[in-house]
Chains A and B, each alone.
Chain A
Amino acid sequence: MIKKLIFLLILTLLISTTYVESLQIGFGWTLDTGLHIRVNKFELQGVFGEPSIYGLRFYPINKDVNIIGKEFNFYSGVEANYVSSEVLDWGYTAGIFAGLDKAIFKKLHLSLDLGVFFSTVKGWEEFSDWGAAINTKLTWYIGGKK
């Protein structure tokens, strides 16, 4: 059900925003079998499987940087997700991340970031832990500057 909703949401946003050139809009695929849609500094994401996560990324920092003679976009932000699993009553995860973004073909961008996350899940009891995650995404921008 949630997957269908996200699919419909992405489709609706794609259609409606194609005509809005002022917005920076992108959609794409994450490394660990997920989909996302980017609108300016916000990004809705859904990563499917067991468990699944559904959440929002916020990118307040975006800087152009030159590394070894090549141009990259440095970005950093925060992320919060709801965790859905057949062995959980509920779960949440949130964290901060920072990474680099590079256009690899026209408006197709590849990004790689490292984040520090905290997660709390409830099965029989509540359980919390820290950790780190690497996220890689392919995003196709259809509007805005990119």
Chain B
Amino acid sequence: MKNKLLIIIFTITSLFFVSHIYSFQFGVGTRGFVKKVIEKGQEEGKIPKTKEEKEKEKGEPNTINYTGKLDKLDLSQAKYLFLAPKSTSTTSPSPSIKGAIYKADMTQTEKTVFKMKENGDIEEVNIYDEQGNRFDVNVYYIVKLSTEFISVALEIKGVWIVTTTTQVVNGSTQVVTTEQYFPVSQWQTSISTMGWNYSQYKKQYLVRLEDGAVFEGRYLPNDGNKKIYQDMYGNYYYILAWSNSAWWLNYGYGTGIQQGSLLKLNTQNMSVQVVSAQGDTIPSYDVEAFAVDKYGNLAYLPMIGSDYKYRKTTATVDGSSIEHKGFFNYPIGSSNYAVVGLLPIVDINCDGIYFVDRVSEGEYGLKNLRVRKLECNYNTGYEIKITSNVGSVYYEIVNSLSYSKILSIGDKEISLLKTTYGKILFPTIDLVNVTTSYYYEVNYSTFGIDYNNFSNGFLGYQVVSSTEVYVLIKTQGQGRDRYTFYAIYPKEERIEKVFYTEKYEPSKGWPPFSVDENGNIIITATDLDTGTKNVLKITPNPDDPGNPNNITFLQQGNVEIYYLVRVY
């Protein structure tokens, strides 16, 4: 009786299992059951149907015939783009936001592009080929050209091949998508057709921000460029500079265009053209010695101490046949002293190019400034007019004008910003009355910085507009360093404290912070209480500068950000 009961219990238990399992295979013998399981797996596309199919799959990694090229970056909803390590690391040195193009450190961690969306979410940017296969890459830099294009350099490491199969499951047809990873070493193209050429997967690309379309090219702007001009036809002008991070680019230039050449990138046909004279190399110090106006007229200093060179441009109204004419030399000022020409510059609207040089008059040496303006466009032809001879400007302004930040340039005046050892200078040169019409200076001591130690206290500045500048100051706080942002309004001779904190330590680098379109300060900083790295958006608040509510977190965590590029 007891045994009968056992049999009944076992049978009922078995039936209970049968009714509660998702899928149920029945086999005559254990092997028969396993056979049914395999058949079920084959129906779902998870198990090869034949031995041949399995062997083919095993052989594919070494024989994949893949020639895919980058086609698109998924930039949908992107507000900021930045580079960060593929995998989160908490051991590397803390990087900084570098405005657009500056590399924070030389760590060789593989990085890729991330996007920060409007809602603050952060996602890795997927990079696809034309078939929708996804690339695995190591990105070296992102350079912002304009609101229309960025330039990137990257190495392709592999690709995830997407396989789509159609299967009949329970009578209905379903599409099953799977991804399989193939490193470049397993691409047949890399082995059989070209031999093993590792560098063939390190390339430069131009990326259109509107739709993420990718254009492969050479001699594109890189993270070594300090200035990039754009004319009204959508062409970009820049020096062929050494890259700071993509070292392999610099070796590639050896057999091509000479370093220091002035290049024009035509985004209509994606061509790059040398527009400086053959053999000319343009010096690059703090600022590269060239300027381009909105018509495409250009001027540069081929080398320190030589004459300016300028080049007139003719173009149709729509810019379809823009043509750069021959070169003209224009002498810099001369005197009894060795005279160094200053940089050609353009006004804020890029209407014309200014040659600013200093001339020596009298026995007191370099005290005078001469400003000449090159105006030429397709309507007026071109002319050079001596706009003014400016006398009686401060010696130190004349002596170091090339290293000044130009706040604004108009027909009547030039407003400048210059930092020196003891103060920040804001001179305005009156071009009509040939004098220094306005002058304002702020001593570092105003911010509580010791004169002898100003370099540790004055961390940097950003120009918000022609009438407003933010500076970042470090002073001793209550047990920790205090970081304070001031807004300087030179025309109003006014300074405001807009934010300070002792909780967050800004990451080191230059420039130390960015300013968004609403005047908010964007900065990477370490939370000294928790050690986390954050991207902060600080809303200037002169009424309550110490209020923590002035901070909005764009990102919190351990992701190390290398570049931050605003894409709107």
Q: Interface on A for B, CB 8 Å cutoff?
A: 30-34, 47, 49-53, 55, 63-67, 74, 76, 79, 81, 83, 85-88, 91, 93, 95, 98, 114-117, 119, 121, 123-136
Residues A135 and B29 in contact, CB atoms below 8 Å apart: yes
Ordered by A's residue number, 21 sampled pairs between the chains whose C-beta atoms are within 8 Å are A50-B35, A65-B3, A66-B3, A67-B4, A85-B38, A86-B54, A87-B38, A87-B50, A93-B33, A93-B37, A98-B10, A115-B30, A116-B14, A126-B46, A127-B37, A129-B23, A129-B24, A129-B25, A131-B27, A134-B28, A136-B29
Known A-B contacts A74-B3, A121-B38; A87 and B31 likewise in contact (beta carbons under 8 Å): no
User: Would you give the 0/1 interface string for B362-406, flagging 1 where the beta carbon is closer than 8 Å to chain A?
Assistant: 000000000000000000000000000000000000000000000
- Give the CA-CA distance A116 to B29 in the complex, in Å: 11
Known A-B contacts A51-B34, A87-B54, A123-B46; A133 and B3 likewise in contact (beta carbons under 8 Å): no
Chain B's closest residue to A136 (CB) is B29
Q: Which 3 A-B pairs have the closest CB atoms?
A: A123-B47, A32-B29, A131-B25
Residues B40 and A133 in contact, CB atoms below 8 Å apart: no
- Give the CA-CA distance A10 to B458 in the complex, in Å: 87
* In the assembled complex, B36 has its CB within 8 A of some CB on chain A: yes
* In the assembled complex, B348 has its CB within 8 A of some CB on chain A: no
- Give the CA-CA distance A136 to B38 in the complex, in Å: 22
Residues B34 and A93 in contact, CB atoms below 8 Å apart: yes
- Give the CA-CA distance A117 to B25 in the complex, in Å: 9
Residues B10 and A30 in contact, CB atoms below 8 Å apart: no
Contact of A93 among B7, B10, B30, B50 (CB under 8 A): B30
Q: List the A side residues contacting B35 at CB < 8 Å.
A: 50-51
Residues A125 and B54 in contact, CB atoms below 8 Å apart: no
Known A-B contacts A74-B6, A116-B14, A132-B18; A124 and B48 likewise in contact (beta carbons under 8 Å): yes
- Give the CA-CA distance A67 to B31 in the complex, in Å: 29
Shortest distance between the CB of A28 and any CB in chain B (Å): 14
- Give the CA-CA distance A93 to B368 in the complex, in Å: 93
Residues B33 and A133 in contact, CB atoms below 8 Å apart: yes
Residues A65 and B4 in contact, CB atoms below 8 Å apart: yes
- Give the CA-CA distance A124 to B178 in the complex, in Å: 10
Shortest distance between the CB of B147 and any CB in chain A (Å): 44
Give how many A-B residue pairs fall within 8 Å (CB-CB): 145
Q: List the B side residues contacting A85 at CB < 8 Å.
A: 38
* In the assembled complex, B252 has its CB within 8 A of some CB on chain A: no
Known A-B contacts A98-B10, A130-B25; A125 and B30 likewise in contact (beta carbons under 8 Å): no
Q: List the A side residues contacting B10 at CB < 8 Å.
A: 76, 98, 114
* In the assembled complex, B17 has its CB within 8 A of some CB on chain A: yes
- Give the CA-CA distance A115 to B37 in the complex, in Å: 15
Chain B interface extent, by class: 35 or more
* In the assembled complex, B21 has its CB within 8 A of some CB on chain A: yes
Residues A88 and B31 in contact, CB atoms below 8 Å apart: no
Residues A119 and B34 in contact, CB atoms below 8 Å apart: yes
Residues B41 and A117 in contact, CB atoms below 8 Å apart: no
Residues B30 and A124 in contact, CB atoms below 8 Å apart: no
Residues B47 and A124 in contact, CB atoms below 8 Å apart: yes
Q: List the B side residues contacting A65 at CB < 8 Å.
A: 3-4, 7
Contact of B31 among A49, A86, A116, A131 (CB under 8 A): A49
Residues A32 and B31 in contact, CB atoms below 8 Å apart: yes
Residues A53 and B38 in contact, CB atoms below 8 Å apart: no
Residues B41 and A121 in contact, CB atoms below 8 Å apart: yes
Q: Which residues in window 495-541 of B have CB below 8 A to A?
A: none
Q: Which residues in window 178-196 of B have CB below 8 A to A?
A: 178
Contact of A117 among B18, B30, B45 (CB under 8 A): B30
Chain B's closest residue to A129 (CB) is B37
- Give the CA-CA distance A128 to B3 in the complex, in Å: 34
Q: List the A side residues contacting B53 at CB < 8 Å.
A: 87
Known A-B contacts A31-B28, A67-B4, A123-B46; A114 and B14 likewise in contact (beta carbons under 8 Å): yes
Shortest distance between the CB of B33 and any CB in chain A (Å): 4
- Give the CA-CA distance A30 to B30 in the complex, in Å: 10
Residues B41 and A123 in contact, CB atoms below 8 Å apart: yes
Best-surrounded residue of A66, A86, A114, A123 (most CB of chain B within 10 A)? A123
- Give the CA-CA distance A81 to B17 in the complex, in Å: 21
- Give the CA-CA distance A67 to B24 in the complex, in Å: 30
Q: List the B side residues contacting A131 at CB < 8 Å.
A: 24-27, 33, 36-37
Residues B47 and A88 in contact, CB atoms below 8 Å apart: yes
Residues B57 and A124 in contact, CB atoms below 8 Å apart: yes
- Give the CA-CA distance A123 to B34 in the complex, in Å: 13
- Give the CA-CA distance A50 to B38 in the complex, in Å: 10
Residues B30 and A81 in contact, CB atoms below 8 Å apart: yes
Q: List the A side residues contacting B280 at CB < 8 Å.
A: none
Shortest distance between the CB of B526 and any CB in chain A (Å): 43
Q: List the B side residues contacting A126 at CB < 8 Å.
A: 46
* In the assembled complex, B32 has its CB within 8 A of some CB on chain A: yes
Residues B51 and A87 in contact, CB atoms below 8 Å apart: yes
- Give the CA-CA distance A52 to B34 in the complex, in Å: 9
Known A-B contacts A91-B34, A119-B34; A30 and B23 likewise in contact (beta carbons under 8 Å): no
Q: List the B side residues contacting A129 at CB < 8 Å.
A: 23-25, 36-37, 40-41
Residues B32 and A133 in contact, CB atoms below 8 Å apart: yes
Residues A132 and B24 in contact, CB atoms below 8 Å apart: yes
Q: List the A side residues contacting B33 at CB < 8 Å.
A: 93, 117, 119, 131-133
Shortest distance between the CB of B28 and any CB in chain A (Å): 6
Known A-B contacts A127-B40, A129-B37; A34 and B31 likewise in contact (beta carbons under 8 Å): yes
- Give the CA-CA distance A55 to B4 in the complex, in Å: 30
Residues A86 and B29 in contact, CB atoms below 8 Å apart: no
Best-surrounded residue of A49, A85, A130 (most CB of chain B within 10 A)? A130
Best-surrounded residue of B3, B4, B38 (most CB of chain A within 10 A)? B38
- Give the CA-CA distance A115 to B13 in the complex, in Å: 11
Residues A32 and B32 in contact, CB atoms below 8 Å apart: yes
Residues B31 and A52 in contact, CB atoms below 8 Å apart: yes
* In the assembled complex, B49 has its CB within 8 A of some CB on chain A: yes
Known contacts A130-B24, A133-B32, A135-B29; 8 additional CB pairs below 8 A are A65-B3, A91-B34, A91-B38, A123-B38, A123-B48, A130-B21, A133-B26, A134-B29
